[in-house]
Amino acid sequence: MSSIKLIISDLHLAGGHSVLEGFGDAQQAALEGLTAAASSDGPLGQADDVELIINGDAFDFLTIPSYDTQGNSDIPTAMEKLNKIIAAHAPFFETLHHFIDTPGRHVTFITGNHDIELRFAEVRSQLRETIGVAPRLFFCPTRFYRPLPDVHIEHGNHFDFWNHCISGLWDEQGQALDLHPGKITLPFGSYYFQHVAHSISLEYPYFDHFEPSMDNLRQMALLCLLNPGIVIETARLVTQMLSEPRPALTNLAPGEEQIPVKLFEQVMTDFADFQQDMMARKKDWVEPQGNSQAQANTMAEYAMLREALALPLIEAVAAICTPTTYQMAESVAQGMHAVLANDPNLRYAIAGHTHMGRIDSVNSGAQSYLNTATWTTRLALPAPGEVNTDMVEWLRQPDWKHIPLRDVTQFTFALVTSHAQDQPSSASLCAWEGGSRGSYRVLA
């Protein structure tokens, strides 16, 4: 029997009213096109069985009020947020219903760090009722999913220190510990977003959409130039989260908050203390194999940014916006490489989470790591020639209705085909183009 697996991730459906909403008209049209093609007479629709696998962060519970839940999620709060998602995205749920109403079509949800509430039985029950055709709707209870003998799929946050979440949900092998939790402890990254970073995302939403992604170090460097006040408030909130809270920026002399280099040095001191404190508290974290260079890379990045902040404003912004290695994506990649190395029977390991598409050939080409990026809007970092006075002013006070950055959004998915259980699978990274009447293009 021929089978096709369509793997997408990071749709980030939210309440429909915030600049943090990840799923709009373009995303909906692409989903309608992809699912329709999988039920037609074309190449995707000719398989006997087609499974749409949504690999984490289908929903974004973190960007819907109430924002700061003190690092926890409970059933009443999750249900309130879910109902807002359902009300804002009726076409999405109708599309899934129409898809699985077709014989041989299925949908599987895998849990991500922004929709960890999928582990609540009540949330799953409400989604089954909303989507319908319950026998063809599956919620993966384990941290990862293996729909075929040689394919491993997981969201990827397990290999990201800030968003690693295992306590009370899964054991070290990824098996579910509790199918009916009443309360969930959120990853540190989720708590940080709720308590600290939410206001930055609202005021400067481009940070969540830059392609390639910009890490926290560069974000703070840029904000030291554009808005020292929000950096000072960020430091205050970060030091509140320490095991033993203390005042922020304790070595910053009066007036030095207006000197970007001085402010950056001090806020990074607070962030370094914060990371050390979180490391001491997170006993279940294991650094991914091959990720030992992370600290050295961070120190080199810090030194470069200190030098950049001493440059004239336009030159400093251009240097900060220069693309560089995104450490979180490297951490996820190393973790997924280790999954492949530990199981030679696997051909493919597929993740999302990083919002950056990727294909790595592993083990002399016998195995591959694929990342399906995100369906949310992606905006190219401004190139050096694009950084001028107008661009800097837009970055300082962004008008989200008039965006000068290039739109590089792609509706990326992994296409996995299999003709028999005892035959090897074949996978490609693809992009859907042309909306509801479009087609797909193979990226690699």
Reply yes or no on whether the pLDDT at 395 is more than 80: yes
pTM: 0.96
In this structure, the number of other CB atoms found within 10 A of the CB of residue 381 comes to 22
- pLDDT over threshold 90, residue 420: no
How is the chain split among helix, strand and coil, in percent rounded to 5?
Answer: 40, 20, 40
Please name the helix (run of DSSP H) or strand (run of DSSP E) that holds residue 39, with its range, or none: none
pLDDT value at 307 more than 90: yes
The secondary element (H helix, E strand) that includes residue 98 is helix 90-100
Question: What's the longest Cα–Cα distance across the chain?
Answer: 72
Instruction: Give mean pLDDT, residues 21-43.
Output: 95
How far from 50 is each of 38, 168, 334, 417, CA to CA, in Å?
Answer: 7, 33, 30, 9
CATH number of 1-186+329-386+410-444, picked from 3.40.50.970, 3.30.379.10, 3.40.50.10420, 3.60.21.10? 3.60.21.10
Domain ranges across the chain: 1-186+329-386+410-444, 214-325
pLDDT of residue 168: 84
All residues at 6 or more sequence positions from 115 whose CB lies less than 8 Å from its CB, including other chains: 56, 57, 58, 59, 60, 61
Task: Please check the confidence at residue 57 and state whether its pLDDT lies above 60.
Answer: yes
Residue 297 reports pLDDT greater than 90: no
pLDDT for residue 153: 98
Does the structure show a pLDDT above 90 at 87? Answer: yes
User: Quick one: what percent of the chain has pLDDT higher than 70?
Assistant: 99
Q: What's the DSSP call for residue 362?
A: E
Q: Please answer whether residues 379 and 405 qualify as being in contact, where contact means their C-beta atoms are separated by less than 8 angstroms.
A: yes
pLDDT over 80 (residue 290)? no
Terminal Cα-to-Cα distance of the chain (whole angstroms): 25
Q: Which residue type sits at 352?
A: G
Tell me the average pLDDT across 258-286.
94
Check if the beta carbon of residue 16 is closer than 8 Å to that of residue 369: no
**Which range has the worst mean pLDDT, 8-17, 59-68, 400-409, 410-419?**
59-68
Across the range 412-426, mean pLDDT stands at 90
- Give the pLDDT of residue 68: 73
Closest listed residue to residue 1, CA positions, set 145, 106, 150, 104: 104
Strand order in the sheet with 348-351: 144-148, 151-154, 348-351, 367-372, 357-362
Residue 294 has pLDDT above 80, yes or no: no
- Give the integer Cα–Cα distance in Å for 107 and 135: 10
Residue 292 pLDDT grade (very low, low, confident, very high; cuts 50, 70, 90): low
More confident residue, 63 or 283: 63
Q: Which residues pair with 371 in a beta bridge?
A: 351, 358
User: For residue 437, what is the DSSP state?
Assistant: G
Q: Poorest-confidence range of 55-59, 186-190, 286-290?
A: 286-290
pLDDT for residue 289 is more than 90: no
pLDDT number for residue 32: 98
Average pLDDT over residues 161-172: 88
Whole-number pLDDT of residue 291? 56
> What pLDDT does 343 receive?
97
Apex CA 170: angle with CA 168 and CA 176, to 5°?
105
Token representation of residue 266: 């001090």
In this prediction, residue 86 carries a pLDDT of 98
| Residue recorded with tokens 């085909």 | 417
Q: Which has more confidence, 286 or 206?
A: 206
Q: Check if the beta carbon of residue 6 is closer than 8 Å to that of residue 51.
A: yes
* Mean model confidence pLDDT for the chain: 95
Q: Which long-range contacts does 398-406 make (Cβ < 8 Å, 24+ apart)?
A: 398/204, 398/205, 398/206, 400/19, 400/205, 403/206, 403/379, 405/206, 405/379, 405/380, 405/381, 406/379, 406/380
Question: Strand pairing of 367-372 and 379-380?
Answer: unpaired
